[in-house]
Amino acid sequence: LNIKKKERKDDGGRRPAVGERKAQRTRVVISNTNALNVPDIELMTAEGVVDENNVGKVMALPVTTVDSLRAVGAFKNTQGWKFFRTPSTLIRKETVEMARKLDEAAKGEAIRQVLIGEKKSGKSVLLLQALAHAFMRDWVVINYREARELTMGFTDYAPIPNTDPTRYSQPALTATLLTSIVQANRDILSKLTTALTHNPPVTLPQGTSLLRLAELATNDPDIALPVFHALWSELTYKPPADAPPASQRPPVLLAVDALAHFMRPSAYLSADAQTIHAHDLDLIQHFSSCLSGASALPNGGAVIAAMNNSDVPSAKSLNFALARAEAIQKAKKAEGEAVDVPTWNPYEELDERVFGCFDPAVVEVVRLGGVSKEEARGVMDYWIKSGMCRKEMRSKMVNELWTLSGRGVIGELER
Amino acid sequence: MANPRIFRSFTAIALPIRPQTARCASQRLAPVSIQCRRSTRASSSNSGEKRPKGPDTDSLPHVSEEAAATAKITGDKGPDIQQGTPVQEVIKGKKELHDKLPKVMQDEKSSTEPPSGTRSFSTVARRQEDLQTLPSTPSSLPPTLIPSSSLPLSTGVKFGTPTLPLPPQTHLKHRDDPIVQQVTTLLMRHGKLSVAQHNMSFILSHLRTAPPPKLNPARPLVAGHPPPHQLPLDPVMYLTLAIDSIGPLVRIRSQKGAAGGGQALQIPVPLRQRQRRRQAVMWILAAAEKRAGKGGTKNMFAQKVADEVVAVVEGRSSVWERRNQLHRIAVSNRSNVGYKKQPGRR
One-letter-per-residue 3-state SS of A238-295: CCCCCCCHHHCCCCEEEEEECHHHHCCEEEEECCCCCEEEHHHEHHHHHHHHHHHCCC
Of B205, B232, B296, the CB nearest to A21: B296
Integer Cα distance of B265 and B255 in angstroms? 5
Residue B123 has pLDDT above 70, yes or no: no
Give me the percent of chain A exceeding a pLDDT of 70: 96
What's the average model confidence in pLDDT over B156-184? 85
Residue B183 has pLDDT above 70, yes or no: yes
Give me the percent of chain B exceeding a pLDDT of 70: 66
Is residue A104 within 8 A of residue A111, CB to CB? The reply is: yes
Instruction: Give the tens place of pLDDT for each residue, B251-263.
Output: 999 988 777 778 8
Q: Give B232's contacts in chain A (Cβ within 8 Å).
A: 34
Q: What pLDDT sits at residue A379?
A: 87
Residue scoring higher pLDDT (A318 or B117): A318
Residue A1 has pLDDT above 80, yes or no: no
Q: What pLDDT sits at residue A223?
A: 92
Write down the mean pLDDT value for chain B. 75
pLDDT tier at A203 (50, 70, 90 boundaries)? confident
Q: What pLDDT sits at residue B210?
A: 92
Q: Give A30's contacts in chain B (Cβ within 8 Å).
A: none
Q: What pLDDT sits at residue A400?
A: 78
Integer Cα distance of B283 and B270 in angstroms? 18
pLDDT tier at B184 (50, 70, 90 boundaries)? very high
pLDDT tier at A283 (50, 70, 90 boundaries)? very high
Q: What pLDDT sits at residue B109?
A: 66
Backbone angles phi, psi at A169, to 5 degrees: -100, 155
Give the residue among B278, B213, B272 at the shortest CA–CA distance from B246: B278
As for the ipTM of the complex, it is 0.85
**Residues of each domain in chain B carrying CATH 1.10.455.10:** 178-336
Q: What pLDDT sits at residue A207?
A: 85
- Minimal CA separation from B216 to chain A, in Å: 20
Residue B12 has pLDDT above 60, yes or no: no
Q: What pLDDT sits at residue B319?
A: 95
Integer Cα distance of A256 and B230 in angstroms? 40
Q: What pLDDT sits at residue A395?
A: 76
Closest residue in A to B212 (Cα–Cα): A34
Q: What pLDDT sits at residue A292?
A: 93
Strand order across the beta sheet in which A58-60 lies: A42-43, A58-60, A88-90
Instruction: Give the tens place of pLDDT for each residue, A88-109.
Output: 999 999 999 999 999 999 988 8
pLDDT tier at B44 (50, 70, 90 boundaries)? very low
Helix ranges (H only) for B49-191 are: 63-74, 87-90, 103-111, 128-132, 178-187
What's the average model confidence in pLDDT over A116-142? 93
Q: What pLDDT sits at residue A316?
A: 92
What's the average model confidence in pLDDT over B87-95? 77
Please tell me whether residue B335 adopts helix, strand or coil conformation.
helix
Q: What pLDDT sits at residue B22?
A: 39
pLDDT tier at A188 (50, 70, 90 boundaries)? very high
| Stretch 241-260 of chain A: residues touching chain B, C-beta under 8 Å | none
Give the residue among A303, A322, A382, A308 at the shortest CA–CA distance from A134: A303
Q: Which amino acid is at A290?
A: C
Q: Which of A8, A10, A11 to mutate to test the interface with B (most CBs of B within 10 A)?
A: A11
Q: What pLDDT sits at residue A356?
A: 92
Integer Cα distance of B134 and B117 in angstroms? 30
Q: Which amino acid is at B97?
A: L
Of B291, B292, B297, the CB nearest to A24: B297
Residue A156 has pLDDT above 80, yes or no: yes
- Minimal CA separation from B232 to chain A, in Å: 6
Residue B40: count other Cβ atoms within 10 Å of its Cβ.
11
Residue A19 has pLDDT above 90, yes or no: no
β-pair partners for A304: A113, A255
Write down the mean pLDDT value for chain A. 89
The answer to whether the CB atoms of A35 and B233 lie below 8 A apart is yes
Integer Cα distance of B63 and B79 in angstroms? 10
Q: What pLDDT sits at residue A121?
A: 87
The answer to whether the CB atoms of A82 and B205 lie below 8 A apart is yes
Which residues, in sequence order, are CB contacts of A297 under 8 Å at separation 6+? A110, A236, A251, A252, A290, A303
The answer to whether the CB atoms of B295 and A25 lie below 8 A apart is no
Q: Which amino acid is at A288?
A: S
The answer to whether the CB atoms of A36 and B233 lie below 8 A apart is yes
- Minimal CA separation from B19 to chain A, in Å: 50
Q: What pLDDT sits at residue A253?
A: 95
Q: Which of A15, A33, A34 to mutate to test the interface with B (most CBs of B within 10 A)?
A: A34
Of A11, A17, A32, the CB nearest to B292: A11
Q: Is domain B178-336 annotated with CATH 2.130.10.10?
A: no
Q: Give B209's contacts in chain A (Cβ within 8 Å).
A: 29, 32, 34, 82-83
Instruction: Give the tens place of pLDDT for each residue, B274-290.
Output: 999 999 999 999 999 88
Of A11, A29, A387, the CB nearest to B233: A387
Residue scoring higher pLDDT (A220 or B11): A220
Which residues, in sequence order, are CB contacts of A15 under 8 Å at separation 6+? B295, B296
Of B208, B229, B295, the CB nearest to A21: B295
Instruction: Give the tens place of pLDDT for each residue, A46-67.
Output: 999 999 999 999 999 999 999 9
The answer to whether the CB atoms of B205 and A83 lie below 8 A apart is yes
Residue A136 has pLDDT above 70, yes or no: yes
Backbone angles phi, psi at B3, to 5 degrees: -70, 125
CATH of domain A29-369: 3.40.50.300
Instruction: Give the tens place of pLDDT for each residue, A331-362.
Output: 888 877 777 889 999 999 999 999 999 999 99
What's the average model confidence in pLDDT over A18-37? 87
Residue B13 has pLDDT above 50, yes or no: no
CB of A35 less than 8 A from some CB of B: yes
Integer Cα distance of A132 and A141 in angstroms? 9
Closest residue in A to B290 (Cα–Cα): A11
CB hemisphere CA count around A144 (13 angstroms): 26
Q: Which amino acid is at A276?
A: I
Residue A155 has pLDDT above 50, yes or no: yes
- Which of A78-82, A219-223, B111-115 bottoms out in mean pLDDT, i.e. has the lowest? B111-115
Of B292, B293, B298, the CB nearest to A25: B298
Integer Cα distance of B193 and B204 in angstroms? 16
The answer to whether the CB atoms of B295 and A32 lie below 8 A apart is no
What's the average model confidence in pLDDT over B68-80? 81
Residue scoring higher pLDDT (B49 or B340): B340
Q: Give B288's contacts in chain A (Cβ within 8 Å).
A: none
Q: Which of B172, B206, B237, B300 to mutate to test the interface with A (most CBs of A within 10 A)?
A: B300
Q: Which amino acid is at B324?
A: N
**Domain-by-domain residue ranges, chain A?**
29-369, 375-415
pLDDT tier at B122 (50, 70, 90 boundaries)? low
